[in-house]
Amino acid sequence: MSESLSASQSASQSVSQSIPQQALILFAHGARDPAWAAPFESLQQLIQRQRPQLLVRLAFLELMQPDLPQLLQQLVAAGVSEASVVPVFLGQGGHVRRDLPALIAQARQQHPQLTITVAQAAGEQPDVQNAIAQYCISTLPQR
């Protein structure tokens, strides 16, 4: 009996330690100052707590690691088959309109087995804008 329990525990541990098939990638610009990444790391942890079965990772356009191609390579090597990229930018500037699509096109050529979806810039979503507006209003002195 203890052998079957032990085998059952081992099997469940290996399943719980396996890499999920789906990943959520928070894509940010990057900066020279490592402290700049703190809010993005907090966001990553918040999402990971809310969706523990999901693989949530950060990738950067420049100045920080991993960059998006590096991270996608790691995910494919780990067996991930779907990646959803969310640009954590306030708007659809040049990085989101030009640089990101070029990186995604290159990744799709290099990793045809990986399904990649790309969301709009986070800051263009009404819920995000409303949250930022509420924060801005909350900074006003009380009268």
Residues β-bridged to residue 115? 82
Cis peptide before 34 (omega within 30 of 0): no
Decide: helix, strand or coil at residue 79: coil
Q: What is the pLDDT of residue 48?
A: 97
d(CA 115, CA 100) in angstroms, rounded, equals 16
Domains and CATH numbers, the chain: 22-139 (3.40.50.1400)
Q: What is the mean pLDDT of each run of 10 residues along the chain (143 residues)?
A: 42 50 96 97 98 96 97 96 97 91 98 97 96 97 91
99: left (phi over 0), alpha (psi -120 to 50) or beta: alpha
Q: Per-residue pLDDT tens for 78-106?
A: 999 999 999 999 988 889 999 999 999 99
Per-residue exposure over 38-69, b if at least 16 CB sit within 10 Å of its own CB, e if not: eebeebbeeeeeeeeeebbbbbbbeebebbbe
Q: What is the pLDDT of residue 106?
A: 98
In this structure, is the dihedral angle defined by the CA atoms of residues 91, 68, 55 and 80, taken in order, positive or negative?
positive
The whole model's pTM is what?
0.84
d(CA 66, CA 33) in angstroms, rounded, equals 15
Per-residue exposure over 9-24, b if at least 16 CB sit within 10 Å of its own CB, e if not: eeeeeeeeeeebebbb
